Structure 1
Amino acid sequence: MFRKLHKEANNYMESDKPLKESTVKKPLNIKGSKKVFKIAAIIVVIGIILSKFLLRGNRININTIAKPIYPKKIGFEDFDEQVKRREDIDENFLKELGKFSIKSSSLVLSKTDKDINSLYSPISLYMALSMTAETAKGETQEEILQVLNMDSIDMVRSETGKLFRKLYYHNEIGKLSLGNSLWLNKDVRFNINTLDLLAKDYYASSFSLDFNDNESSKKISKWVSNQIGGKLENRYDDFSLNQDDVMALVSTIYFYDEWVDRFNINDTKEDEFYLEDGNIVKSDFMNMKYGSHSFVGVDGYTVSHLNLKNNGRMIFILPDEGLSPFDIISDPQLLDEAINSLSTDKRKMGEVIFKIPKFKFSSKLKLKDICEELGIKEIFQETSDFTSLSDTKPLFISDITQSSTISIDEKGVEATAYTKIDYTGAAQPNGRAEMILNRPFIFVITGVEGSPLFIGIINNPNIE
């Protein structure tokens, strides 16, 4: 290869292109200077050509079929632009989205391992299933809509776009970005109208790939990594493809925000965390005390929250001693009551002491069986109708998975997830609450309008 590069460089140097005037103003009065100059120039040209070869390997050569136009960035203090972007979302849509989130969260997390930490993003699964519904017809579509609690695909299409824009922010404080994509087998013919619709109303990019090329999985992995802040890199096995696959649908979420009131790092101290099996582990706990803050203390659990700068919040649900997070998680009604208790008449204002373990972990969930339990079954059958997407037969979904990661520290919260679907105030103090999270607990991260972004369980803060 270097012989070829040397030849290219020689050809370049021996061409009759004139040198710039500044280059020939004063001839070098050194013996052999011409030869030295030529060698140096050859080295420079070889470097330029070689760099092109090296950089070529890092490029993602993907044939883009449809591409969305994302909302523009708005400064954290640019209130006028923030007001312009606000759209009213159908209250019934938000209510039904909340029901889906609670029901699916209860089902997903109640089946997770009690010895590890678990994280689930209901909004990511909702986005993936809503796009799946858009590619389906007839009973296949109706079944998905029924599980999502939505009256029609028109409602899903209209309100999902509004939700995307309302949740989205990207400023100097933080970022909440939803990313959707379809990875299409280049040997299959797809309905371009459906792909354009998904780009317009669901902000979904469509890419054509060679599913026989081993490098294709790396291209999907790279795109996902770029969407979620570089987290979960090099997870090529998560995106493996084979020639029988028709399409992979991927929905991502990246969330970062800062606490309104940061924890003082000097107040972070090591202390004990009591595991459910009776063992004790040491963990670093962040500490803060509010003189007047909202909380709920009822028989069974205590709830409070911390505000985030971009209008989100992180809710903490601490079961009473002797109870497990799974006692709450496994009961959808009880979980719903706990998450929303701060907006009911059970809410009090008083002194709240926070003692929260720092944690960082990743989670991976298989969601195909969960979707079947929820009532989505037709999409996994060869009789499913995805003719809105392609006339290829048979065309059905073979698997649904979700991977996620989260970390919290004194500054704020960072959380990511991707779902992959394979086709083949203040008031007078009234009481006191201690959010001493030194035993297994539940956490919830919500966005604007209380939209549930992430729900998880901490069984051991030291497990990553």
Structure 2
Amino acid sequence: MKNNTNFNWRKILALALAAVMLISTIALFLSILAGCQKNDPADDPNKIEKPGYTALKKITYPEVYAFENIDKRLEVIENYPVEKLFLKAVDDFSYRSAAALLAANEQGENFNFSPLSLYLALALAISGAGPDSATQMELLDLLGASEALATSSQSASTSNLLSTQSKNLYHQLFLKNEIGQLNIANSLWMDDEVNGQKIDFQDKFIENAAQNFFASVYSVDFSDQEKTGAAMAEWISEHTNGKIEPTFNFDSLQVLSILNTIYFYDQWDRRFDEKTTAPDIFYLSDGNEVEVDFMNQTQSSASFARGENYTRAVRPLRNGGEMIFILPDEGVNPYSLVDSAEKMEAAFTGGSQSNGEVVWKMPKFSYDTKLELKEVLQKLGVNAAFTGDADFSNLSEETQIFISNIKQDTFIAVNENGVEAAAFTQIDFDTTSMPTGRAEMILDRPFIFGITAPNGSPLFIGLCENPA
């Protein structure tokens, strides 16, 4: 999300605060099977047999470089360019999906959502959709890809351009240094036999997943719930620094799961002093009160914005990202600021910009969120992909596959040093000028937050109702 105060699409500092993990699981379901050939993508010499799965493809991730190596960061941005309109499409998707989810969220409950995890998972799923099918077009429209990539100078289909842009975004976001990290990982978990019938997966889908989404490939037996579930949970835990350890229940017709994980951690550019942390009262939206520890700090010169019924300020992160805080005015329901995509965008990017003293009183908090995404995506215009008539022929020509459900679990924790967060998305297929003002970010009542990467891409959008 682009913020006129502190964000810039071209901003090139390293990545954001918070440990962010996302796991996007796309579990594909079979509805009609007809005369399929047995798939054997296991012609990889590095094939590894382990309990619960066989590893078919090993991925080489982007090069790791030091925190102070600015030249390398600039080189990555130059070598893997991301279209401005594509980044705008990611932003728009983030606002629309988050606003729709918040509208369905029970007020009084904490909320945290990773739009980027869902976006990348759906982008990979789109590569399996039939060309120009209703399935493909609805998903492309949801992601804003059709319009964003229509003027691209590259000669390729929109789906292929989306894969390429996703790869370039991956390169720009990937970060692992002594200060923090933003690790994105994908994997395909495929079962080539369901109820005695063979499933033939398209090689081009698998190769695209590996080349453009850095997806490892595993052969599994979904009917062996214990071993396959344990193997997938282990992979997720490994790629989320142990923050997410899910359990699985596989549908009898499940043939494929796409897992996407994002692990994010970064430190505040200016840490809070633990000696100044003290307990105080947080006022809940239902009128009750809870006592929590508040971190305290005053910035003598910082930017902030005031809009209709809110104040917004930003905490920079050492790798170049930001955590944005939107504090509703007293008596204002935070949901009223984000109950539409337009209002959410205005809250995150609008308002009157100022520079001056910013007083921070921020609660330490950590919580989990579980989200059901299927109905929300249907309200946003995706229908064909969820029906038995879905066209995922680029995934399997002979097998009728459709998306049966989409879920996401997230975790976030904020303390004096920085932020750590995790998300699990399951798609079942089956700065300095003269001070001019003062802002008090006394976060002692429900507030909205967002975490962005250095290029402004939204990693998380949340609403803290109760930090206790």
TM-score, normalised via structure 1 length: 0.84
Q: CA RMSD in A?
A: 1.5
Aligned partner of 2:437 in structure 1 is 431
SS at match of 2:165: helix
Find out whether 1:192 has 2:192 as its counterpart: no
Distance in 1 (CA, whole Å) between partners of 2:367 and 2:218 is 31
Distance in 1 (CA, whole Å) between partners of 2:325 and 2:89 is 23
Aligned partner of 1:22 in structure 2 is none
Contact 2:181-2:263 within 8 A present in 1 as well: yes
Find out whether 1:330 has 2:332 as its counterpart: no
Structure 1 unaligned residues grouped into runs of 5+: 1-57
Residue 74 (structure 2) aligned to one of 71, 80, 83: 83
Aligned partner of 2:39 in structure 1 is none
Superposition map of 1:147-186 within 5 A: 147-151=142-146, 152-186=158-192
Distance in 2 (CA, whole Å) between partners of 1:61 and 1:334 is 47
SS at match of 2:327: strand
Contact 2:200-2:399 within 8 A present in 1 as well: no
Distance in 1 (CA, whole Å) between partners of 2:359 and 2:287 is 24
Give the superposition deviation at 1:179: 1.3
Percent of paired sites with the same residue? 38
Find out whether 1:367 has 2:373 as its counterpart: yes
**Residue type matched to 2:124 in 1?**
M
SS at match of 1:135: coil
Aligned partner of 1:105 in structure 2 is 98
**Residue type matched to 2:143 in 1?**
L
SS at match of 2:63: coil
Give the superposition deviation at 1:73: 1.1
Give the superposition deviation at 1:322: 1.1
Distance in 2 (CA, whole Å) between partners of 1:263 and 1:140 is 48
Superposition map of 1:264-343 within 5 A: 264-341=273-350
Aligned partner of 2:411 in structure 1 is 405
Distance in 2 (CA, whole Å) between partners of 1:198 and 1:268 is 46
Give the superposition deviation at 1:59: 5.9
Distance in 1 (CA, whole Å) between partners of 2:340 and 2:254 is 37
Give the superposition deviation at 1:119: 0.5
Residue 208 (structure 1) aligned to one of 181, 204, 219: 219
Give the superposition deviation at 1:392: 4.0
Aligned partner of 1:71 in structure 2 is 62
Aligned partner of 1:258 in structure 2 is 267
Give the superposition deviation at 1:124: 0.4
Distance in 1 (CA, whole Å) between partners of 2:227 and 2:138 is 35
Give the superposition deviation at 1:228: 0.7
User: Which one has a bigger Cα radius of gyration?
Assistant: 1
More deviation, 388-397/421-430 = 388-397
Aligned residues: 399
Contact 1:166-1:448 within 8 A present in 2 as well: no
Aligned partner of 2:137 in structure 1 is 142
Greater relative contact order, per chain length (Cα 8 Å cut-off, separation 6+)? 2
Contact 1:174-1:310 within 8 A present in 2 as well: yes
Give the superposition deviation at 1:64: 2.2
Question: 1:177 and 1:388, CA in 2 relative to 1: closer, same or farther beyond 3 A?
Answer: same
More deviation, 200-209/287-296 = 200-209
Aligned partner of 1:54 in structure 2 is none
Give the superposition deviation at 1:72: 1.5
Question: 1:268 and 1:445, CA in 2 relative to 1: closer, same or farther beyond 3 A?
Answer: same
TM-score, normalised via structure 2 length: 0.83
Greater strand proportion: 2
Find out whether 1:380 has 2:386 as its counterpart: yes
Aligned partner of 1:45 in structure 2 is none
Give the superposition deviation at 1:354: 0.5
Distance in 2 (CA, whole Å) between partners of 1:304 and 1:326 is 18
**Residue type matched to 1:414 in 2?**
E
Give the superposition deviation at 1:243: 3.4
Contact 1:97-1:149 within 8 A present in 2 as well: yes
Structure 2 unaligned residues grouped into runs of 5+: 1-48, 147-157, 194-198
Distance in 2 (CA, whole Å) between partners of 1:212 and 1:320 is 53
